[in-house]
Structure 1
Amino acid sequence: MIHIDPEAIHPVVDDVWHRTRLARIPEPGQVIAMLCGVTAAATFEPLNQRRAHGAPTECPDCDRIYRQEHNIPQARDRLRQR
C-alpha cells in the first residue's frame, strides 16, 4: 500500500507549482482548482518527466494566499526584517 497525503500534493501547471485544497487524491482527468484560481485536469507522470523542462517555480499568488490563511508573514516582509 502507498500512502499519499493530499495536503502535500503540489500540482504543476505550465512549469509552475501550485497549492490546492484536496480532500482526497484526484482521479486522472478530474479538474482541480488551485488557491490562485487556476484550474487543470489531474494527470500523473513520473518525477523525471515533470522536470524535463527544468525545475518548476512556485506560484506567487498561491504562496500569498497560503501565507495569509496560515498567518505566516509574506516572503517580502520576512526579507525586510533581516
Structure 2
Amino acid sequence: MDFLKLFSKEPPSKDVAKERLKLILIHDRANVSPTFLEMLKSDIIRVISDYAEIDERGLEIKLTKAGEEGISTPALIANIPIRKMKDTAK
C-alpha cells in the first residue's frame, strides 16, 4: 500500500471515471450535445455579465440528475463566482 496516497486530496481515479460516466449518461438521456451545453454556458455568461462581474475561470456549469420519490429529471447546476455587482440602478 502506498502511504502517500492516504494523504492525497485528489479523489481516486475510479471515482473520477465514475463521475465522468454519470455525466455522459445524463447528457445522453437529456439529448444535450456538448456544443449545446457550451452555447448555453455562453448565453448564461453574457446575461449575468450585464449585472455582475464574474470570474469565468471558476465558472462551472453542468447537467446532473435531480428529483424526488424515484422520479429523476435532468437539472442544470451553475456555480458562478461573482467578483462584484454592477451598478444597474439608473
TM-score, normalised to structure 2's length?
0.21
Structure with bigger strand share is 2
Structure with bigger helix share is 2
- Which has the larger Rg? 2
